[in-house]
Amino acid sequence: MKAAVFHKVGDVSVDRVGDPRVEHEEDIIVKVTSTAICGSDLHIYDGFFPQFKDQVLGHEFMGVVEETGRAVHRVKKGDRVVVPFPVACGHCFFCNHQLPTHCENSNPEHYGPQGDLLKGKGGGLYGYTDLYGGYAGGQAEYVRVPFANFGPRVVPEGVTDEQVLFLTDIFPTGWTAIDWAEVKGGETVVIFGSGPVGLMAQKAAWLRGAGRVIAIDRQAYRLQRAAKVNAVETLDAHDDDLIEKIYEMTDGRGADVCVDAVGMEASRSVRDKIKAVLNVEKGTSKVMENCFEAVRRGGRVSVIGVYGSPYDNFPVHRLFDKAIRVQFGQAPVQKYIDQLFDLTLEGKVVLNDIISHRLPLSEAAHGYEIFKKKEDDCVKVVLTP
Ligand SMILES: NC(=O)c1ccc[n+]([C@@H]2O[C@H](COP(=O)([O-])OP(=O)(O)OC[C@H]3O[C@@H](n4cnc5c(N)ncnc54)[C@H](O)[C@@H]3O)[C@@H](O)[C@H]2O)c1
Ligand SMILES: [Zn+2]
Ligand SMILES: [Zn+2]
């Protein structure tokens, strides 16, 4: 089959690789019909998460069940399914606590309690390096999906792929940020990053009754899309007085909720880059720190942008002085997906209005390039095998 294969930093090509097979009785093989490129894929593409062997990328995918292992009872051959990005067993301690990204059974070689750079990672993720289980991903014609009685959800007839594809990751991820912040209605929510994840967090904030939603990015075209599809207010991240502006917009207090939907690959000054080299840091924690500044006393910060290393001078004093509650982490997609499926099918939210590029899988390399470099007004790339 053909698949988008990561070879080394900046080098993804569509190659012929072996077809996946059922390896375990709870596996299924899915014939992929749609798959997307994610900001998280860029962390591998850019070398922030190390991967030394070739790897089929992709954790946002859906398709038709082609083959099932003997113990699979929740889906059958011919079903159309969307698949949550965390590989999770559904019955371990963490799965039972609705924490599927911490599954104890999906990353046997590198799993552990440490959560360090190279040691003791969480559960497996599709197409996300050997440290996260070494699973071949779904930017491919076919993909093996383990634990098929827990992850995949069947898509009803009459619904297009594009309507539900983002239930695999980015809509539940945006929702996670808003749910962690316990948005109940009327809050001012400031979302740093207006890429696909930020755009989904904006949608989730409105769905949960936010009073104001303010989007921040460095790319004017992404803010324009945010204003257009999500009717949010916007601020330019280049603005030297960004934090002051947020205070002004919030009676001098700061926002009730701030979301970091950027992560460690935020744009950096030369000084930031030197500091990172000296301190052996990956990228920068600047946006997370912006959130701590911009949030009000007693407010909440959700960090869904990805971080992969420790940071020196972490502003713990500010967290203490302002009594900020922070929650970090990967999205527990399986926890939210059914509820979000319903909202989507009921037409309460539209997800596909963020797609800027539809390309054949064979053009995956081009898709990675324009998504990374933010060329051609690229927001979200959907690939079809
Ligand atoms: N927690 C999870 O489960 C989860 C799931 C999916 C994605 N993610 C992460 O979410 C983050 C965003 O993903 P994405 O797909 O939207 O990626 P993306 O790279 O397209 O979006 C990031 C956006 O941040 C903007 N940005 C850069 N520097 C900024 C700054 N200083 N201030 C404000 N905005 C800035 C960029 O212009 C870009 O629009 C990534 O780190 C990704 O890995 C996390
Ligand atoms: Zn993703
Ligand atoms: Zn588990």
Q: How many CB atoms lie within 10 A of CB 275?
A: 16
**Domain span including residue 313:** 171-328
Same domain, yes or no: 108 and 125 = yes
Residues with CB under 6 A from ligand 1: 38-40, 42-43, 169-170, 173, 192-198, 216-219, 222, 237, 261-263, 266-267, 287, 304-306, 330-331
Q: What is the pLDDT of residue 227?
A: 98
What are the tens digits of pLDDT across the range 156-209? 999 999 999 999 999 999 999 999 999 999 999 999 999 999 999 999 999 999
Closest ligand 1 atom, residue 219 Cα: 37
Residues in the chain with pLDDT < 50?
A: none
In angstroms, what is the span from residue 170 Cα to ligand 1's centroid? 11
What does the pLDDT read at residue 97? Answer: 98
CB atoms within 10 A of CB 186: 10
Same domain, 54 and 198: no
Domain C-terminal end among 303, 328, 353:
328
In this structure, which ligand is nearest to the CA of 87?
A: 3
In this structure, are 181 and 94 located in the same domain?
no
- pLDDT value, residue 276: 85
Supply angle C-alpha 354, 301, 222, rounded to 5. 25
Cα–Cα distance measured from residue 367 to residue 5, given in angstroms and rounded to the nearest whole number: 13
pLDDT value, residue 292: 98
CA–CA dist 52, 368 (Å, integer): 19
Same domain, residue pair 15 and 99: yes
- Do 312 and 197 share a domain, yes or no? yes
Tell me the CA–centroid distance for residue 304 and ligand 2, in Å. Answer: 11
Burial string for 236-257 (b: 16+ CB within 10 Å, else e) reads: ebeeeebeebbbebbeeebbbb
226 with 117, same domain: the answer is no
Are residues 320 and 366 located together in one domain of the fold?
no
Residues 243 and 196 grouped into a single domain:
yes
Calculate how far, in angstroms, residue 381's C-alpha sits from the geometric centre of ligand 1: 14
Residue count of the chain: 385
What is the per-residue pLDDT for 370?
A: 98
The owner of tokens 């594809």 is 165
Residues 31 and 137 occupy one common structural domain: yes
pLDDT value of residue 268: 82
Whether residues 214 and 164 fall in one domain:
no
- The pLDDT value recorded for residue 282 is 87
Q: Is-above-0.75 flag for pTM? A: yes
Domain C-terminal end among 328, 355, 374? 328
pLDDT at 274: 87
pLDDT of residue 297: 98
Measure the CA–CA gap between 231 and 212, rounded to whole angstroms.
Answer: 10
- For residue 272, what pLDDT is reported? 81
* Residues 90 and 226 both lie in one domain: no
The CATH number covering residue 231 comes to: 3.40.50.720
The CA distance from 323 to 4, in Å, is 45
Closest CA to 83 of 29, 152, 34: 152
Pairing of strands 381-384, 357-360: parallel
Q: Are 210 and 186 in contact (CB under 8 A)?
A: yes
Quick one: 25 and 162 in the same domain? Answer: yes
Q: How many domains is the chain built from?
A: 2
